[in-house]
Structure 1
């Protein structure tokens, strides 16, 4: 698929993201007590394959219970390579337990990377974390528009976490990333993967790392000096991940940073945004 036109490119990424969220919503609706993380991840992969996905930036992940807070073995920072504890395991879902579903399909040459949080039944901590996350969604493009460096924006997320009384658990991710850049994938599609990551997508990310090193920017957006540069135009998969004790929640979606220094989310019709709008309407009606 060739998508040289900017409008067509944005439409392709938006469609890929919608498909990824549709996948997560479909599997979340089918979660049952006793289901393992591996079973949930496999169902996501099967659903995506049934809807035309043949390639991945990374294959689906699922985390249940205290694993949503990325503590213990899963919280070890994998600064070189990827921690196997991140991968879906044998943890079984229970009533009231938090969950996170995460997948990154490649559709044509467009990459989506999404995170979907919830609970099996009622979980007040998850509900509060989801409310808190909307503040981060509003904060990030506002800080970019204010002329902050990418590291400063990430530090503003850290500071908001402190004010909310939660932890920025994305700091347990490889390279402590808040986000990573995505781009149209070059070359022919590849079904090969390494440690659940697609080879074509990994090659592109490595190319961006090399390009950024030469030009003074990083495709891995975090709070360190490596990201202390002006916002880099393009698409970024942004994933603030909040934790409170043994419960975590996040969203992950595509942010478009423009050449003019502004930023906007690629799509406002996403599950966590709809949830917030519903809750806001309910509060007004009360």
Structure 2
């Protein structure tokens, strides 16, 4: 990796810190659009000068992508947050060409389904980096993640993303196009850079998109990869997204001081508590009153 990893790490931390601040401000009645707008304004006030993609916010069963079929349906809606609802904040900021892409999962109040999903995500973080270190083809790693999802009794939701990706390569965005010009949800400079890199990698028999297709049947490509395993049970979804560093003979997560990692570490030091019974509300991701926008 030619670029400075510290700059990517700093931006990733900035993005997660902003997501935590927005999450702390969420309350019943806040809409997805309001949450996404808060995250965008906060990051731009702290030095973000462009976007790989603008912030998304998904509430309730939209965290499991229920009813999401077309690309525009990923965009934030008027869905209102209610007690017991899961939520996901997803943002991909750029600063001075350096890129981060993060996914922050939270829940407003108690939801045992969400607690179980987020605890089990730790398995995927460990599994993915180990399989990359062993140099398994990307498509095979994708398939093994799928098998683990089945063993857990969950659904694969990252297959709903464009390209059915569990990850994508990132780097420093280089373009002479103006900044903060958004095409759909993506920055124009990003679209130009990604298209150029996609062609270059395909000429070498590789892909910048990590999915289960034949184009991903190659050894892990050195560089930075934004990795986002996304699971669901019923109407509750959860994910993390962070940067994975891949070298010719190793792989490691760029930063271990992130909210989901701290949550898992803290859970290992707490005494176990009795599991609450699964309820209709916890499985649907909706409030008791069934409120939605």
Same fold (TM over 0.5): yes
193-202 vs 24-33, which moves further: 193-202
Once residues 267 and 259 of structure 1 are traced to their aligned partners in structure 2, the CA distance between those partners, rounded to angstroms, is 19
Decide whether the 8 Å contact of 2:167 with 2:211 is kept in 1. Answer: yes
Deviations 1:8-27 (A, max 9, x none): 61000001100110110000
1:234 paired to 2:223: yes
Unaligned residue ranges in structure 1 (runs of 5+): none
Once residues 114 and 265 of structure 2 are traced to their aligned partners in structure 1, the CA distance between those partners, rounded to angstroms, is 17
Deviations 1:118-144 (A, max 9, x none): 100111111111111100000001111
Counterpart position of 2:182? 193
1:212 paired to 2:207: no
Counterpart position of 2:240? 251
Deviations 1:105-124 (A, max 9, x none): 00111100000001001111
TM-score by length of structure 1 reads 0.92
Once residues 130 and 93 of structure 1 are traced to their aligned partners in structure 2, the CA distance between those partners, rounded to angstroms, is 19
Once residues 147 and 55 of structure 1 are traced to their aligned partners in structure 2, the CA distance between those partners, rounded to angstroms, is 33
Shift of residue 284 of structure 1?
Answer: 8.2
2:47 to 29, 52, 58: 52
1:249 partner SS: strand
1:17 to 9, 12, 15: 12
Deviations 1:4-53 (A, max 9, x none): x94x6100000110011011000000001000000000000111121121
Once residues 176 and 187 of structure 1 are traced to their aligned partners in structure 2, the CA distance between those partners, rounded to angstroms, is 27
The 5-angstrom pairing of residues 34-45 of structure 1 reads: 34-45=29-40
Once residues 196 and 248 of structure 2 are traced to their aligned partners in structure 1, the CA distance between those partners, rounded to angstroms, is 21
1:120 to 108, 123, 134: 108
Counterpart position of 2:261? 273
Once residues 229 and 246 of structure 2 are traced to their aligned partners in structure 1, the CA distance between those partners, rounded to angstroms, is 17
Once residues 106 and 248 of structure 2 are traced to their aligned partners in structure 1, the CA distance between those partners, rounded to angstroms, is 35
Runs of 4+ with deviation above 6 angstroms: none
Unaligned residue ranges in structure 2 (runs of 5+): 275-293
Cα distance 1:283–1:223, how it changes in 2: closer, same or farther (>3 A)?
Answer: farther
1:263 to 227, 241, 251: 251
Deviations 1:249-282 (A, max 9, x none): 000000000122x210000000000000000111
TM-score by length of structure 2 reads 0.90
The 5-angstrom pairing of residues 148-159 of structure 1 reads: 148-159=136-147
Shift of residue 147 of structure 1?
Answer: 2.4
Once residues 45 and 137 of structure 1 are traced to their aligned partners in structure 2, the CA distance between those partners, rounded to angstroms, is 27
Once residues 160 and 149 of structure 1 are traced to their aligned partners in structure 2, the CA distance between those partners, rounded to angstroms, is 17
- Count of residues in correspondence between the two structures: 273
